[in-house]
Amino acid sequence: MISDSSEPTLIGKQIVLGVTGSIAAYKAVALLRTLLREGAVVHVVMTQSATKFVTPLTFEVLSGHPVSTDVFESHQEMKHLSLPAQADAIVIAPATANCLAKAALGLGDDLLSTMLLTAQCPLIMVPAMDGGMWIHPSVREHVGTLRARGTIVVDPEIGPLASGQIGQGRLAEERKILESVLAALAPQRDWQGQRVLISAGPTQEPIDPVRFISNRSSGKMGYAIAEAAQARGAQVVLVTGPTTLPTPRGVEVVSVVTAEEMLKALTARLAWSTTVIMTAAVADFRPAHPASQKIKKQGRITQTLDLEQTTDILASLSAQRTTQLMVGFAAETNDLIAHAKDKLKAKGLDLIVANDVTIEGAGFGRDQNVAVLIDRQGGMTELPLMPKRALADAILNRAHALLHTRQTTQAPKPVAGGR
Ligand code: PMT
């Protein structure tokens, strides 16, 4: 909330104010003055269409900083990287339907949209457009995608529009925009009071004392979720297979090696938890008879390895759960959605994060990932390629919403036979 005292609320905050081509662009001038009055340092980025409504000079004089409009304007500085890197928040007001679509689809064809692809800070979008455009299915869909990803979209208000019609499309009141900026900058503590049990990394299944079967998981996805949940106020226990990652601050880490150890560690903590998020790439098979001594090369004699199935940890936890929200992952190389839906049902989950691990730059070992969130009511959100830390927040946003809606519904039980 904005206090009625005259204390500035944004002292020292760096804000990028994006202005796009709407008749409401003139209102961004007043918004800039308010942000400055609240103590923020504001850098304005305009699209080419916005400059047809208000001149960059107006924003330049008021903000005291050059206005950026072009991704190619400086050879020295890559503004699409440097501006968002320094920003505490990005506010786009007014945001046109075109700007919302580009942000939702991850298109970067000018400075403002390219900047959004690199930004890690909170993003507040304040749409303004004709009422008919605001209710158009594609605009609704893009707003839904942005919100699912954690973007704050401040709904436009109802009133007379530039067309002369009355409708919902007017830029939100300045007070509402400022409240959204303050809320976005306040540390988000929406997971306070929750106890989150997370698994991460690979498991290693011994063949002999020096060899094992494992996979390419680095643990980055699970660690990112642990870090995000802790930052949002949750108590977090991270049960992790072997990784080289540092312990996330404020997170209790339990190190395990094999699937069996992971099963025991997670089962022992299930009753404590309110949410389980199973990111680990658990080995599905292990050598049935690991050798107690190093297996010697025996000339050219072919060795065969007898394998046995490991326990499906997630299905086992689901079968024992009481009120916990169960979130699983599906790592797929084909038929992503069909396989993920099968796993959601077979393992008795509330939510599954389906990731196609063949996508370039995503999945095992990478810093980015691309996923589809599917819940057991059939709700589906496709997310674009994004840093694993941002995906962690998107998963927590969805899980948080489910935690609040499922209190009235029955928890599902796993269906026999699925893996
Ligand atoms: O660790 P990173 O390098 O960051 O990579 C991230 C990731 C690709 C490992 C992650 O995004 C991911 O997809 N994790 C799940 C990997 C996996 O084992 O998927 P699956 O489709 O085989 O299994 C489905 C679910 O069942 C998973 O939640 C898995 O943890 C769980 N499972 C699987 C086998 C088993 N024996 N017990 C389980 O609990």
Of the two residues 117 and 286, the one the predictor is more confident about is 286
Sign of CA dihedral 366, 250, 274, 380: negative
Among residues 185, 207, 236, the one where a domain terminates is: 185
Ligand 1 pocket mutation pick from 216, 243, 279, 369 by most atoms within 8 angstroms of CB: 279
The answer to the question of residue 6 being in a domain is no
CB of 278 closer than 6 angstroms to any ligand 1 atom: yes
Q: How many domains does the chain have?
A: 2
Given 157, 185, 213, the domain boundary residue is 185
Amino acid 1: pLDDT: 47
Do 378 and 396 lie in one domain? The reply is yes
Structural domain for 179, as ranges: 14-185
Same domain, 212 and 261: yes
Supply the pLDDT for residue 79. Answer: 72
Whichever domain contains 227, its CATH number is 3.40.50.10300
Mean pLDDT of 290-319: 89
- CATH code of the domain covering residue 169: 3.40.50.1950
Question: Which of residues 154 and 73 earns the better pLDDT score?
Answer: 154
pLDDT average, residue stretch 12-23: 95
Is the pLDDT at 408 greater than 80? The verdict is: no
Do 251 and 380 belong to one domain? yes
Active site residues: 215
Whole-number Å distance, alpha carbon 44 to ligand 1 midpoint, is 43
Neighbours of 237 (CB within 10 A): 20
Dihedrals phi, psi of 238, to nearest 5 degrees: -115, 115
What is the reported pLDDT for 298? 72
Least confident of 71-80, 138-147, 213-222, 303-312: 71-80
Q: Which range is least confidently modeled, 89-93, 180-184, 280-284, 332-336?
A: 180-184
Answer yes or no: is 413 within a domain.
Answer: no
Mutate to test the pocket of ligand 1, among 215, 216, 217 (most ligand atoms within 8 A of CB): 217
| Predicted confidence (pLDDT) at residue 32 exceeds the cutoff of 60 | yes
Examine the domain organization and report whether 176 and 208 are in the same domain.
Answer: no
- Asked whether the predicted pLDDT for residue 405 surpasses 50, the reply is yes
Going from the Cα of 214 to the center of ligand 1, the distance in angstroms, rounded, reads 12
String of b and e for 83-101 (b: at least 16 CB within 10 Å)?
bbeebbbbbbbbbbbbbbb
CA angle 159, 161, 167 (to 5 degrees): 50
Residue 284 CA, closest ligand 1 atom number: 36
Would the pLDDT of 77 be above 50?
Answer: yes
Residue 410 lies in a domain: no
Q: Tell me, what's the pLDDT at 169?
A: 95
* Position 6 confidence tier, pLDDT thresholds 50, 70, 90: low
Do residues 343 and 201 share a domain?
Answer: yes
What mean pLDDT do residues 11-35 have?
Answer: 96
- pLDDT over 70 percentage in the chain: 93
CB 116 within 8 A of CB 90: yes
pLDDT for 20: 98
**Mean pLDDT along residues 282-294:** 96
The Cα 173–Cα 244 span in angstroms is 49
> For all residues of the chain together, what is the average pLDDT?
92
> Over 60: is that where the pLDDT of 418 sits?
no
Domain boundary among 150, 185, 220: 185
Q: Is 8 within the bounds of a domain? A: no
| Domain match, 170 and 206 both | no
Residue nearest to atom 24 of ligand 1 (CA): 330
- Evaluate whether residue 415 is within a structural domain: no
Average pLDDT over residues 164-168: 90
Q: Is residue 4 assigned to a domain?
A: no
Mutate which of 329, 341, 386, 415 for ligand 1? The one with the most ligand atoms within 8 Å of its CB, which is 329
For residue 31, pLDDT beyond 60: yes
Within-domain flag for 177: yes
Amino acid in position 289: H
Same domain, 318 and 350: yes
> How many degrees, rounded to 5, is the angle at CA 366 between CA 153 and CA 358?
95
Give the position, in ligand 1's atom list, of the atom nearest the Cα of 220: 4
Say whether both 48 and 155 belong to one domain. yes
What percentage of the chain reaches a pLDDT higher than 90? 78
Protein residue with least CA distance to atom 27, ligand 1: 329
Residue 82 has pLDDT above 80, yes or no: no
Atom of ligand 1 nearest to the CA of 218: 3
As a whole number, mean pLDDT of residues 183-189 equals 85
Whether 165 and 202 share a structural domain: no
> Are 157 and 235 found together in one domain?
no
Instruction: Examine residue 190 and state whether it is found in any structural domain, yes or no.
Output: no
* pLDDT recorded at residue 413: 66
Residue 333 has pLDDT above 80, yes or no: yes
Ligand 1 atom with the smallest distance to the CA of 355 is 13
Least confident segment among 49-63, 75-89, 159-173: 75-89
The pLDDT, as a whole number, for residue 73 is: 67
Q: Are residues 132 and 213 in the same domain?
A: no
Q: Band the pLDDT of 254: cuts 50, 70, 90.
A: very high
| 180 and 200 housed in the same domain | no
What's the token pair of residue 331?
């790592």
β-strands 252-255, 275-278 pairing: unpaired
